[in-house]
Each structure stands twice: as C-alpha cells, then as structure tokens.
Amino acid sequence: MRVDVLTIFPDAFRGPLDVSIVKRAREDGLLDFFVHDIREHALDRHRSVDDYPFGGGAGMVMRVDVLDRALEHVRSLAPERGLVVYLSPAGERLTDRIVRELAREERLILVCGRYEGVDERFIEHCVDREISIGDYVLTGGELPAMVLVDAVTRHIPGALGDAASPQEESFADGLLEHPQYTRPAEYRGWRVPEVLLSGHHAKIEAWRKEQRLARTRERRPDLLGEGGDSDPGGAAGSANPGE
C-alpha cells in the first residue's frame, strides 16, 4: 500500500510513524509512506495557503487552488489514482469496518486541514471520503492522519507477522477484546483466572467469548444489537471525528 499525506506541517510526521509496526511495515516494503508540503504549491512569495472566508467570519480558510495543485502533483507521483481522504470533524466516524475497507485500497491520499477548514469546492470536487476520529475538534488533521495510518497498517497482510492477530483484537467481531494475563500466575494475591491455566482450549475460548460479551455490554452497549448480542453490521468501534 502507498499512503501520501498532504499537510502544511510535514515535520509533525517525524517520529510517530517511525516506530513499531508501522516502521517494520515500511522497512519490509509493505507500506510506502510519503509526506508532502502543501505550501510548495502556493504561488506567492509568502507561500500562502489560506485566505479570509467569503461572507465574513472568524479564522481563515485553506484555498481550493493551492490544494488542487498539491493534489494533482501528488497524484502524478504514482500510477494509482488513490482514494482521497480529508480528515474532518464533519466526516464519517472512523470504525473498525472503515479501517478494513481502507486497508484494501492500493493507495490512500490523506489531506490534513487547518484553520477553519478547507474551501468546500475542494471537498466537492476532489475528495472521495471525509473521515473523523472522534466527536471533538483538533488544531489540524495531522494527528487524525497518523491514527488512520496506524490503524490501517495493522490490516496490511504481513504487517503484524501473525495473520490471526487482527481477527482477535477489539471490534474484530463487533465486541471488545477479552482480558489478557501473563506471568506470574499469582502476584500479591492477585491470581489469573483458573480456566486460563487449565490447558482446556474449548473452555478457554468459551470463557473469552463470555468475557468479550460481558465487557462490551458493560462498557460499550452501543456496539450490541437490541438482543444484547453483537451486531456484525453495526459500526463496531466508534471513536471518531476530529480534524
């Protein structure tokens, strides 16, 4: 997969995506990740990317012409057209289902907004999908872009090493993940559930399923259907908007 990010703060991406799973995916050639400075496509000597909103109002709006030039340049760098995603508080909330959909794309082009947002004409004519990571507003789309890249990378075949891992995480079956334990089996009188030490795989799996359902019912009942069980068609794993 190739991911291109358009931003006016390219330095923001130095570090967070250079560690752990994302770093390994890049080193193994599973993820090609590029950051592009929108300001390089401004035409004035001040490298202006924004202007006052028509009709008045507070703040500044990112210019459609500068964004369009930046996008066209980035598109020309690879044969795949790419799915253009604008990170916005007004977008659809990012869920596990959406992450899996995006992971099937050959190329993603992520546009990070700033100020009061971007000219609506850019969204109407150039953006394929608006996505939010939570119902709150951030100072820009850089952090949401990093969240999206991290989440999507986990679903690139080979990125985790263990092909079963993504299927066993929270939201994979519409439920939260079951509790996890490791050694020592007892610490300060706090014991690991006996069933996990039994070696009886069927009982362990039954216990884990029971725990997933109970934890989801307690902490995220919105993920369950009306009957109290998981709803595979639901938006498992909301945690959205945010620019």
The C-alpha angle with vertex 67 and arms to 66 and 73, in degrees rounded to 5, equals 90
pLDDT in tens, 152-200: 999 999 999 765 566 556 676 789 999 999 999 999 999 999 999 999 9
Per-residue b/e over 205-230, b at no fewer than 16 CB within 10 Å? eebbeebbbebbbeebeebbeeeeeb
The yes-or-no verdict on residue 243 having pLDDT over 50 is no
pLDDT in tens, 103-128: 999 999 999 999 889 999 999 999 99
pLDDT at 173: 77
pLDDT at 241: 32
pLDDT at 119: 97
Q: Which amino acid is at 243?
A: E
pLDDT at 225: 76
Dihedral angle, C-alpha 115, 116, 120, 121, nearest 10 °: -30
Q: What is the pTM of this model?
A: 0.85
pLDDT in tens, 43-86: 999 999 999 999 999 999 999 999 999 999 999 999 999 999 99
The yes-or-no verdict on residue 234 having pLDDT over 90 is no
Distance, in Å, from the CA atom of 191 to the CA atom of 185, rounded to the nearest integer, reads 6
3-state DSSP call for residue 97? helix
The yes-or-no verdict on residue 233 having pLDDT over 80 is no
Can you say whether the dihedral through the CA atoms of 114, 119, 124, 127 is positive or negative? negative
Whole-number Cα distances in Å, 22 to 7, 25, 167: 19, 5, 18
pLDDT in tens, 15-26: 989 999 999 999
Q: What does DSSP say about strands 32-37 and 129-132: parallel, antiparallel, or unpaired?
A: unpaired
